[in-house]
Structure 1
Amino acid sequence: MRSLVLIGHGSHLNGESAAAVYRYAELIRGRGLFDEVVEGYWKEEPSLRQVLKTTASTDVTVIPMFISEGYFTETVIPRELGLGHQGPVPPEGIARVLGGRTVRYTLPYGVHPSMRDVIVERAREALPDLDAADTALVVLGHGTTRNENSNRVIYENAQALRGSGLFAEVHALFLDEDPKVGTWPEKITAPRVVVVPFFASEGWHTLETIPEDMGLTGDVTEFPDTPHGPQTVYYAKPVGTHPAVADVILHLAEEARGASERGGDEDRAWHAAWQALVSLARRGGRLGEVLISAQSGVYEVRHALDEGRPGSDLTTVVTPEGLRDLTRRDEGGNHRPVHTLRNLPRGWRAVLSEDDLVRGVHFLYPAVVEETYAHHCRTLRATPWPTTARRQTGIYSRVQRATPEQVEHVASEVCANCLRTRLWAGETLAQTFFSGVPGAIPCAEACTLLVAEVREEVSGKRGAGGHSH
């Protein structure tokens, strides 16, 4: 068996942040090269601290879904996964044995050499008749002062494409560091300019910031009077949303250090947890806010408050992805980064096979089955708040200054509407949904939403509209 884990940043505020990772997971899942493809996130669920518990195999390859090396790929992700590594990742990646799993961690997909082909593809989409005689290329990066590695991939791609002979000029420009994108009229002499954002996803920067900084009015913008005469700018889609990125991810996985022909075995703890869930489903039971029942060889999942409503009154989905998409927002349309909050929308039913039930429940309540079964078996270890706080780096390190009173004040609001019982805060949970108590779900460690809110509290910004997470 082999498991592939794609790690994205995610967001507490914006559900679209995870869309690209979901899409690539589905593309790769459809190719059948891995027994499973699992997504994990820094700001959503399953969290980086949970995601390895959700893999079925003891052979796991982890790909950071980031466009460049930097703070997240070199510090945050290795730390949260418990890899015992900090700093630049070697080209072949790193390998560790964690809890009986062989875990391989690779470079981010954006630094793979084949991304140059994706840049050219995006350029050709924006300008099909691009010509080396009159077309300049701008490889556009974000830029940062936090990590010097983050801009290296932009310069390397620009240098390689400069030598390809495909363009009259090739420039590396940035949003947040020099040379900035707004200086393009001074630097580029070619009459046609194609701009390819080297970004992981479509978002605020690609839709708003870049067009504003460059003075663009659409996909094609005429500039009749620049220092070098009339110029036309062709604005491409970001490289990270191109379907060919799926091939780049698979190349990285194949090249991962220590990859074996045989693969791994099914993880025993994972198997036992899901067998227990299927047993509960076969006899009919509750898990959190949902009711699961067996019906003629398939399983129906619905909101418990919709019990007894005829199926014709409900929206029916028949795939795990359909269930995921229906339940990622509450009834007001707001993003649900924490799936155990008591705001699961009503008005739907999922009809799933047994295999799809496992994936559907995983999407509905990520890591809940694995962690609850471990607690049921008394093998789940809680991480107290001070340990979580000490592990934080960068802008989150300030949570180490939070007083117990501040943490409890924030938790009383953030955690009040959550199904989980805070083992990390010393609360006890005698039974679980496996023993018939539907809402009895353990919380082994403070979630990233709470960490972010505690940071806001310590900074004096909480409730002042200053949220940036």
Structure 2
Amino acid sequence: MNPHSSASLIIIGHGSTVNPDSSAPTHQHAAAIRQRGVFREVVCCFWKEEPNMREVYEMVDSEVIYIVPNFISEGYFCQQVLPRELRIDGPVTRRDGKTIRYCDPVGIHPNMTRLLLQRADEVAPGVPRGQTSLVIVGHGTNLNENSRKVIENQVALIRDGHHGFAEVVDAYMEEQPLVSDWDKLTTAPNVVVVPFFIADGLHSFQDIPVLLGMREEIGATLSEMGVFHQNPHQLRGRLLYYSGAIGTETHMADVILDQVHEFDTKHGVKDESQGPMPEDAILGSLATWLKSGKDEIGQIAITTQDDGTFSLCHIADRGREDLEVHHQAADALFLARDDAAGAFRSLHTAPTLRRGWRLDLATLGELRQALDFFYPAALGMVHAHEKGTLTTTPLRELLGRQTGMYKFTNTITDPQAHAMIGTCCADVNCLRRILWPLRPGEPMAHEAASKTEPNHAPNALPLLCIEACTHIVSAARKIARENAEAKETVEKI
């Protein structure tokens, strides 16, 4: 029996407001695990993309939830930020009838060593290890020493494992030893550089290549130039082989499952497959909504065919016969990714969904999955709102829990908060209806008040907002910084 057949898996990634590269591996690993049928439900959430860590709970029905951070180290994010955002208080948290199991991040699992060795051989096929230096690159940070420790541990494991490399060294973007000194840190004629990151993003496509000397300055992303297919690079009298981020390995899906197994072993979790299968409550609500004539959500039109199948398209494309046809629920992830101009849509509820496509789906389950890709957590939030169980986070509470570079965001004034919400959350920027107040018992007012009113058609499901998004936090930081600069100027006068 499958011990997790009635449980859900949530994989957490960092995400980005700039490009889809950061979240792509997390989505890929989730899809691979979903296809194996190990868990009843497999979903993703992100720090910088949708759904966030408060919304994602509304996407799953299961009473047992495993959470695996798709992060490299057990440092600042995994020990401080994620538990805070997920509202968990340890490895096991019981809340609202759910049992939430928080696993270790993927980067510290022993099998990462195997993946590093595999990646090094793949990037330099046929090159003798004895004539090769292996450089494992990390970011480097003073926020938490564990962020560096995980890379140092991998270097020690490969060295002590006698895997045949001439030398194995760690290097960092912002700490000593610096990756820019790779030729001074190594002696072999061949050098293999593997970024110990979860995703190929700006660091691996731009920053590290510049530090290595592969490029003189940051410009167009090297991903567009096929950087990983140009090996070897003749630099500083050596042959340098540059790899993609370790987190893009397809076998990372196995590491995610390994961390679940490690959690069960460490905490004595028994086979729970004999327990009752939770009700597909969200799926049931979706069926009810469709029967009642609810056939729109956001910019999506839903058509129920006579044979019980479903077709989705942009609302403005209803009735068109020349649409590009897709047939997989996962295609929605890519249809929703970019706008008509090809720009990344980090905010799924922005009214920028591109047109010209149709998505034909065979089952209600596929329809739900596709809609979750188009509008993450939207169905679950409507379901919870109708049940009266949906909880919201006041803006002041959200800003008050920020740390690091965002810790001063709560210093903005109330009028500034109302004006910011009125501008940032206007319907031309986001289609959601705000449910959260400024403070408990103190609703939004002035410019922000209109965003708290229902804004959807009678035949449409609403897009609800239970907590201010990362764009709002960034906007608040900008205002707070301008306030501080203005105060400083006045004091100087």
TM norm structure 2:
0.85
8 A Cα contact 1:138 1:170, kept in partner: yes
For 2:120, the equivalent position in structure 1 comes to 123
Describe how 1:73-88 pairs up with structure 2 within 5 A. Answer: 73-85=78-90
Deviation at 1:202, TM superposition (A): 1.3
For 1:211, the equivalent position in structure 2 comes to 209
8 A Cα contact 1:420 1:439, kept in partner: no
Unaligned 5+ segments in structure 2 are 1-5, 216-229, 438-442, 444-448, 484-493
For 1:167, the equivalent position in structure 2 comes to 165
State percent identity of aligned pairs. Answer: 36
For 2:151, the equivalent position in structure 1 comes to 154
Q: Distance in 1 between matches of 2:116 and 2:272?
A: 35
Q: Distance in 2 between matches of 1:13 and 1:204?
A: 9
Deviation at 1:145, TM superposition (A): 1.3
After superposition, the Cα gap between the structure-2 partners of 1:133 and 1:84, relative to the gap in structure 1 and judged at 3 Å, is: closer
After superposition, the Cα gap between the structure-2 partners of 1:440 and 1:141, relative to the gap in structure 1 and judged at 3 Å, is: closer
Deviation at 1:119, TM superposition (A): 0.8
Q: Distance in 2 between matches of 1:429 and 1:145?
A: 41
TM norm structure 1:
0.89
Runs of 4+ in 1 over 4 A off after TM superposition: 263-268, 427-433
For 1:465, the equivalent position in structure 2 comes to none
Deviation at 1:334, TM superposition (A): 2.3
Q: Distance in 2 between matches of 1:27 and 1:318?
A: 18
Deviation at 1:24, TM superposition (A): 0.8
8 A Cα contact 2:382 2:461, kept in partner: no
Residue in structure 2 matching 1:346, options 337, 355, 358: 355
For 2:312, the equivalent position in structure 1 comes to 301
Deviation at 1:64, TM superposition (A): 0.6
For 2:219, the equivalent position in structure 1 comes to none
Of 271-280 and 204-213, deviating more is 271-280
Deviation at 1:21, TM superposition (A): 0.8
For 1:244, the equivalent position in structure 2 comes to 251
Q: Distance in 1 between matches of 2:182 and 2:20?
A: 33
After superposition, the Cα gap between the structure-2 partners of 1:265 and 1:232, relative to the gap in structure 1 and judged at 3 Å, is: same
For 1:57, the equivalent position in structure 2 comes to 62
Q: Distance in 1 between matches of 2:281 and 2:117?
A: 48
8 A Cα contact 1:59 1:102, kept in partner: yes
Deviation at 1:347, TM superposition (A): 2.0
After superposition, the Cα gap between the structure-2 partners of 1:266 and 1:79, relative to the gap in structure 1 and judged at 3 Å, is: farther
Q: Does 1:449 align with 2:447?
A: no
Q: How many residues get paired?
A: 443
After superposition, the Cα gap between the structure-2 partners of 1:336 and 1:236, relative to the gap in structure 1 and judged at 3 Å, is: closer
Residue in structure 2 matching 1:408, options 403, 413, 418: 418
The amino acid across from 1:454 in the alignment is A
Deviation at 1:260, TM superposition (A): 3.4
Residue in structure 1 matching 2:382, options 347, 369, 372: 372
The amino acid across from 2:22 in the alignment is S
Q: Distance in 1 between matches of 2:479 and 2:43?
A: 33
For 2:270, the equivalent position in structure 1 comes to 260
After superposition, the Cα gap between the structure-2 partners of 1:430 and 1:233, relative to the gap in structure 1 and judged at 3 Å, is: closer
For 2:440, the equivalent position in structure 1 comes to none
Residue in structure 2 matching 1:233, options 237, 240, 265: 240
The amino acid across from 1:335 in the alignment is F
The amino acid across from 2:464 in the alignment is P
For 1:467, the equivalent position in structure 2 comes to none
For 1:291, the equivalent position in structure 2 comes to 301
Deviation at 1:169, TM superposition (A): 1.1
The amino acid across from 1:293 in the alignment is T
Deviation at 1:406, TM superposition (A): 1.6
Q: Distance in 1 between matches of 2:292 and 2:390?
A: 26
Deviation digits for residues 132-164 of structure 1, max 9, x if unmatched?
Answer: 532221111111111111000111111111122
The amino acid across from 1:370 in the alignment is G
Q: Distance in 2 between matches of 1:442 and 1:193?
A: 51
Deviation digits for residues 160-210 of structure 1, max 9, x if unmatched?
Answer: 111222212111111110010122222322222222211111122212222
Secondary structure of residue in 2 paired with 1:140: strand
Let me know the Cα RMSD of the aligned residues: 2.2
The amino acid across from 1:158 in the alignment is V
Unaligned 5+ segments in structure 1 are 86-93, 462-469
